[in-house]
Structure 1
Amino acid sequence: MTYSGSSQKVGFSRNPGWTLLAVSLGGAMVGLDGTALTIAGPEIGKDTGASLSGLQWITTAYLLALALALFPAGRIADRYGRRAVFLTGVIGFGAVSVLITMASTVAALIVLRALQGICGAMLQPAALALLRMAFPPHRLELALGVWGGASAASIAAGPIVAGLLVQWSGWQAVFLVNAPIAGLTTLLTLATVAESRSAGGRLRVTSLLRAPGVAIGAVLTVLSYFSLFGLLFFLTLYLQNVRGLDPVAAGLWLLPVTVVVVLSAPLGGALAARFGPRRPAIWGFVLVSVGMLGFTLLDVDTGWTDALPASLVLGLGTGIALIASTQVIIGGSPVAMSGLASALQQVATQLGGVAGIVVLGVVMSWRAKEVLPDEAVTQGLVPVGADPGKAHVAFLSGFAATAAVAAVVVIAGAVVAVRIRSGRPVPEPAGPPHAASDVDGERRDQQ
């Protein structure tokens, strides 16, 4: 196996499957934490007395810190070692998760979630860079699909696991579960994953954005997560505060969306490998928009089966669109900038998520308060002395508006996806490998 001469590898793994397993576990930990926090949000609010803005900050502090730290983390990973940075992120993520279980105030949760975001910034770009170095171009799409499927599986498990943990042990257990996953990922990475780093000069984001299709892929990722994060944030409030479901039931209600994402992510990778990312991205965004519009019809009596068609369409489109967008970024970037490209993908993810929660939160507040001018209705709660029916109508009016706005944003993504170059990306020509120097200075032959 040969790689571009612009990147160094130390101690090649003979089986890239081990790298895929290790980085998938790391991604699963982050994915599990993300959707688990969504389910735990209402309980955190009750326990700490957090307002809607407080809950938003607990969520977005992580996303903002991660977004700000991703590019520095990507550069460090490319220059000093992707495996080393990945391990640092995994260990730090697990350790901070344990500290979060000891927090009792909104301020402490916001600070610790920001620290967790910095650890996630070290973990995620290094993970995708390790995949880029482990698999040749003709197998990268499928590897990304499997990685995406594993992340989606953790997202699917998140609501169920979180519901059980919150109901039985409190919201703190949602974070404590990260510790054993981090430990297993650390051991597996130390035992099986090869170190790699760039042998090039200074790496610049502007240079990366000039690579074919990379900027378009970043825009598509932002638009995808804008809608997805915003919808899930308010859908959880609907299920627990309007419908009155317990955390386990709320997790089960979300299961169709997340399970279909699990199944469609590898499908998205296979479609990108067969046709290139352009067509999967376009049709994936169209499906997501249709699913979003289906959620505008929710009312206080909407059952699981009533929402099933919209859930299935949304999940199918999401898995296909997200993997296609990722492939546009990762496949179109130079090999030497793999860590930076992975950081760009994650920055787009987090900025899209933050924008979705904040902007759709403004839409929710504006529309719901037109019906009943009280902050409580934006969380699906009934203000003291208010009519429950009117309070729920206010929330549902706001929710329908957020879903409609999300659908319009996703359609804009389909229009942007038309600009993706058709066909599969042409891989960089492989050159003679560089002699690599390990972190301890010992030179090793590449295999």
Structure 2
Amino acid sequence: MDNSRSGAAVRHPWSTLTAVCLAGMLVGLDGTALTVAGPEMGRSAGASFGELQWIANAYLVALALALLPAGRLADRAGRRRVFLTGVAGFGLASALVAAGTTSELLIAFRGLQGLCAALLQPAALALVRSAFGRDRLELALGIWGATSAAAIAAGPILAGVVVHAFGWPAVFLLNVPVALAVVVVTGYRVAESRAAGPGGGAAELLRTPGVAIGTALTAVAFFALFGLLFCLTLYLQNLRGLDPVRTGEWLLPVTSSVVLGAPLGGALVARFGPRGPAAGGFALLAAGIAGLLVLGTGTAWPATVPATVVTGVGTGVALIAATQLIVASAPEAMSAQASALQQVATQLGGAAGIAVLSAVVSWRVAAGLPANGPVDEAAQGRGAGAAAFVPGLHAAVLVAAAVIALGAVLALGIRPGSAGMAADPAGPPAPPSQVDGDGGHQQ
């Protein structure tokens, strides 16, 4: 695995980006595929409804708890080393999930998957920053965002086909060869990167100009995106009677448009800096969300396409601008922690969006029903609940659009030049000189 020339480590930025994108697709596909594979998993393991919830949530809990410690570990121990550990562990955990026969085993192995995802995700963006440097970081982040969105969009559809043809374990077994490919590419073509000097904690990182506002913008974007996707899934499955695969097809314009918006956002940030693209992306996103007010009890799919496409493009542009603001503003010694912070904002913003917007829907549905009418989610798709659900969905849409509009105003507060590649306060990174003991390369 010697990539050195004349004793110096060789950077392979495109190989690094390939490995990072494949790992991101691995996690994205796995997360969204579970929405389709989950019920079949529960039936095969004889899981109760509560156990089925934990099969899904064990991953999320482990991920959320481990992200910030994993980012700090990557900065100190080496981003390549931690990334490799996370990818190899994710592949192994996926094989164990596929072999799981009881709900207890599935919960434990899903938790292990979440822990490994926490190891690989912060280290991934830190490796990209190290490999590409300031001049091409926006382009790399745009490609990373597009591939991640493509994986999320394809997850439910791919899982539906695989589960139908081969059963639910095949969904997780697909992760194994992808993880192996990432390990090979990383082992031979990715240089090691670690902090040269001491780094601080998350509180210090949030005091860095640009990082706090980028984190807030990320949380705001995922508040609206995850919350609305949850409410739209209820609308499509409970009110319209669509199965999970058809639901994924209805939502495809949103997720696939993010694939277009992410590289566009990268190009715009490279040309104009993050302030204009972030504000414009959030404004576009607010307009797209407001366009979802067209939804009714019998709205045809083509009528929703303009709003969903605008929503997806705006999301891609806004998120890449916010991510670039976080990653590029952080000191080099804390770049993996900055990536972890971006992931934490994603998780917390999404969880808050689901909680708040679903509460808005439930409140509005309850207000529109007779005093003894049904208010649970299953009943919201039938009878009087169907008529009341649409105003509830519209109320959630208005709340989401208002929150995103506030995000656009917040983005206008980004100071010009605040996302220049930050220097390490302890000095520049160590020179790319020696191959380290585990076959990686110090850079």
**TM-score > 0.5 by shorter chain:** yes
Q: Name the SS of the counterpart of 1:21 in structure 2.
A: helix
* Structure 1 residue 316: Cα displacement: 0.7
Would you say 1:390 and 2:384 are equivalent positions?
A: yes
- Match status 1:419 vs 2:405: no
**How far did residue 412 of structure 1 move?**
1.8
Query: For 1:257, which of 245, 249, 254 is the aligned residue?
Result: 254
Question: Residue 50 and residue 266 in structure 1: after superposition, are their counterparts in 2 closer, same or farther (change >3 A)?
Answer: farther
Counterpart position of 2:306:
309
Assess if the C-alpha contact under 8 Å between 2:19 and 2:186 holds in 1. yes
Q: Which residue of 2 aligns with 1:294?
A: 291
Assess if the C-alpha contact under 8 Å between 1:64 and 1:350 holds in 2.
no
Q: Check whether the contact 1:213–1:332 (CA below 8 A) recurs between aligned residues.
A: yes
- How far apart in 1 are the matches of 2:43 and 2:396? 24
How much has 1:75 moved relative to structure 2? Answer: 0.8
2-structure distance, mates of 1:432, 1:158: 38
TM-score, normalization by structure 2: 0.87
* Range with greater deviation from structure 2 (201-210 or 431-440): 431-440
1:340 correspondence with 2:337: yes
Identify if the C-alpha distance between structure 1 residues 24 and 68 changes in structure 2 by more than 3 Å, giving closer, same or farther.
same
Using the TM superposition, name which of 364-373 and 265-274 deviates more: 364-373
1:207 aligned partner: 204
Among 107, 117, 121, the alignment partner of 1:120 is: 117
Q: Does 1:70 align with 2:67?
A: yes
Residue deviations 1:268-326, cap 9 Å, x none? 00000100111111111112122222223322322220110111110010000000000
Residue 80 (str. 1) matches residue 77 (str. 2)? yes
Conserved? CA contact 1:11–1:194, under 8 Å: no
**Does structure 2 conserve the Cα–Cα contact (< 8 Å) formed by 1:42 and 1:240?**
no
Percent identical across equivalent pairs?
55
* Distance change (3 Å), C-alpha of 1:78 and 1:288: same
The question of whether the paired residues in 2 share the 8 Å contact of 1:160 and 1:248 is answered with yes
1:35 Cα deviation after fit: 2.6
- Aligned-pair CA distance for 1:55: 7.0
Residue 233 of structure 1: how far off its partner (Å): 2.2
* Structure 2 residue 355 is matched with structure 1 residue 361: no
Alignment of 1:9-408 (within 5 A): 12-40=9-37, 59-102=56-99, 110-370=107-367, 371=369, 378-379=376-377, 381-382=378-379, 388-408=382-402
441 and 106 in structure 1: CA distance in 2 versus 1, 3 angstrom threshold: closer
> Structure 1's 56 and 218: CA in aligned 2 closer, same or farther, altered over 3 A?
farther
Q: Which moved more, 1:407-416 or 1:326-335?
A: 407-416
Cα gap change, 1:23 to 1:435, in 2 (>3 Å): closer
Query: What amino acid is the match of 1:346?
Result: Q
Kept in 2, the 8 Å contact 1:56–1:357? The answer is: no
| SS at structure 2 position matched to 1:198 | coil
C-alpha displacement of 1:432: 7.8
Mapped partners of 2:431, 2:179: distance in 1: 33
Question: C-alpha displacement at 1:224, in angstroms?
Answer: 0.8
Alpha-carbon contact 1:369-1:377 (below 8 Å) kept: yes
SS at match of 2:193: strand
Instruction: Quote the Cα distance in structure 2 between the aligned partners of 1:33 and 1:195.
Output: 27
Q: Is the CA contact 2:9–2:435 (under 8 Å) kept in the aligned structure 1?
A: no
2:72·2:336 contact (CA, 8 Å) conserved in 1?
yes
Specify the alignment match of 1:4 in structure 2: none
Native 8 Å contact 1:101 1:176 kept in 2: yes
Which amino acid in 2 is paired with 1:296? Answer: L
Distance 1:110-1:212 versus aligned 2 partners, 3 A rule = same
| CA distance 1:375–1:329, shift in 2 (3 Å) | farther
Q: Which runs of 5+ in 2 are unaligned?
A: 1-6
Contact preservation (8 Å) 1:60, 1:354: no
Question: Structure 1 length normalisation: TM-score?
Answer: 0.86
CA contact (8 A) 1:90 1:119 kept: yes
Distance 1:122 1:375 in 2: 47
Aligned-residue offset at 1:120: 1.1
> 347-356 or 59-68: which moved more?
59-68
Offset of residue 17 of structure 1: 0.5
**What are the ranges of 5 or more consecutive residues in structure 1 without an aligned counterpart?**
1-9
Distance in 1, matches of 2:277 and 2:34, equals: 30
CA distance in 1: counterparts of 2:401 and 2:52, whole angstroms: 24
Closer, same or farther: CA 297–241 of 1 in aligned 2, 3 Å: same
1:329 corresponds to which letter in structure 2?
A: I
CA displacement, residues 92-116 of structure 1 (integer Å, 9 cap, x when unaligned): 2222233334557777655544332
SS in 1 for 2:299: coil
Task: For 1:415 and 1:24, locate their aligned partners in 2 and report how far apart those are by CA, in whole Å.
Answer: 31
CA shift at 1:168, angstroms? 3.5
Instruction: Write the distance in 1 (CA, Å) between the matches of 2:366 and 2:165.
Output: 35
* Residues 145 and 267 in structure 1, CA contact (< 8 A), matched pair in contact too: yes
Of stretches 115-124 and 369-378 in structure 1, the one that deviates more from structure 2 is 369-378
Name 2:4's counterpart in structure 1.
none
State the distance in 2 between where 1:394 and 1:46 align.
32
Moved more, 179-188 or 317-326: 179-188
Q: 1:414 to 1:444 in 2, by over 3 A?
A: closer
Q: CA distance change for structure 1 residues 109 and 291 in 2, over 3 Å: closer, same or farther?
A: farther
Change (3 A) 1:39 1:357: farther
Question: RMSD of aligned C-alpha atoms?
Answer: 3.1
Partner amino acid for 1:243?
Answer: R
